[in-house]
Amino acid sequence: MMRRTYLTALTAAAALVVGLASATTAFAQQTTLRVFSGGANQRPDLMRKLFDQYQAKNPGVKIDIETGGATSELQRQYLSTVLNAKDSAIDIYMIDIVNPAQYFGAGWLEPLDSYIGKPADVLKPYLPVYSTSNVVDGKLAAMPAFADAMFMYYRKDLLDKHGVKEPKTWDELAAAATKIQKAEGNANLQGLSIQGAPIEGAVCTFLLPYWGQGKDFNDASGKMTLDKAAATKGLATWLSMVDQGVIKKNVAEVKTPDTVNEFKAGQVIFAINWGFAWDRFKDDKDSTVQGKVGVMPLPAMTGGKSATCVGGWQWAVSAFSKNKPAAANLVKFMSSPEASKFLAQEGSLLATYQSVYTDADVVKAVPWFKDAANVVIAGKSRPISKDYGQVSDVIRTTTSAVLARTKTPADGVSEIESRLARVMR
């Protein structure tokens, strides 16, 4: 009896040792990935849900999330500091669409070709803009997380009330806004709100009427191809609208949230802003325009073509990560059609795949996506440059100065050309 008890205890002890060894091995094999997932506008709450889905399918991976930076400028400052220090603590970064060339050129990003595939094959199902923004020196520098673009929001109720059709050119928009403003008799009603403060949005403010003349700011290699006459005409167009009372006089102080808040308050007829603004107009308790908002392509210059500024965010693997294969696998999942559909349905985040815009489930959840598709597909990327921080600073500060009338459009364009000639060559 004692011998049997001894053997039973010995067997139990051995099983315990084996169990502990297995648990120790499993713990040792677990990979912890730390992901920088941007600020509130990048919806880290939804990214966390996707990370949880991935962890459930990959029990050997644990994902920690880091957030921070209310704007792309603040995030860029933080990431530049961390990456320049070659910090290996963060494995994956969510970065702005303008940053792959800059970060890859600095040696901060791991090429993803060997983990995910050749750029031409990998990016084929995505929106066209990523073949330009995410490929640097022929290498796959980043993968799309979710898209964004500048849209023309408008007061559908006011256009219907006054028998005004969606304007196709900026001249038509100015005329339409003036007609509605006069008819409404509201001194606080702006015709058009744009961002003129020296923020990232002002880069797009400069480019929209320029692109709208069929012009490009740079070629495929990143060399500047500035058409000074077209750029001057674009800036002069904004000032003309200020003189007509369509755009308010202190436009050089207007930031992205200002446009959103003023449109929500019913003080704007037409407003240029990013995709996130739709939910603010639709869902915010203080919105006075719920059910009254339309979305249309941005107008072109007369004789030109419509173009918009594409934004959005990318997933990139740190060149200093100690878990590069595991990080690349997570990036592949986070940039999949399933992830893109999830973010579209749950957060109205613009899809990176053209097919998602017509997905029945997505259109049911976010009806305006059917109108967004054509705008985003035809979108253009801001200048591609390994020194994008400098490019952005020159364009946005000069644009703001022109709108503040401390520089003429011609002088502003000449300054942009001279300051960027050596940077974008």
Give the whole-angstrom CA distance, residue 273 versus residue 4: 79
Give the whole-angstrom CA distance, residue 322 versus residue 400: 43
| 2 confidence band (pLDDT: 50, 70, 90) | very low
Contact 299, 212 (CB under 8 A): yes
The predicted-structure confidence for 98-146, as pLDDT tens digits, reads as follows 899 999 999 999 999 999 999 999 999 999 889 888 999 999 999 999 9
Least confidently predicted of 171-185, 188-202, 344-358, 394-408: 344-358
Query: Please, what are the domains in the chain?
Result: 29-148+311-381 (3.40.190.10), 150-309+385-420 (3.40.190.10)
Question: What integer pLDDT is reported at residue 363 of this predicted model?
Answer: 93
Identify the CA nearest to 132 among candidates 358, 331, 356, 314: 314
Which residues share a beta bridge with 35?
65, 92
Least confidently predicted of 52-61, 188-197, 304-313, 372-381: 372-381
| 24 confidence band (pLDDT: 50, 70, 90) | very low
Note the pTM of the prediction, 2 decimals.
Answer: 0.83
Mean pLDDT of all residues in the chain?
91
Give the whole-angstrom CA distance, residue 49 versus residue 57: 13
User: Which contacts (CB < 8 Å, 24+ apart) does range 130-138 have?
Assistant: 130/352, 132/220, 132/381, 132/384, 133/97, 133/98, 133/100, 133/101, 133/310, 133/314, 133/381, 133/384, 134/100, 134/314, 136/100, 136/101, 136/104, 136/105, 137/104
Question: What integer pLDDT is reported at residue 29 of this predicted model?
Answer: 64
Question: What integer pLDDT is reported at residue 404 of this predicted model?
Answer: 98
The predicted-structure confidence for 215-274, as pLDDT tens digits, reads as follows 999 987 889 999 999 999 999 999 999 999 999 999 999 999 999 999 999 999 999 999
Least confidently predicted of 75-84, 139-148, 416-425: 75-84
345 has a pLDDT exceeding 90: yes
The predicted-structure confidence for 374-415, as pLDDT tens digits, reads as follows 888 878 889 988 888 899 999 999 999 999 999 999 999 999
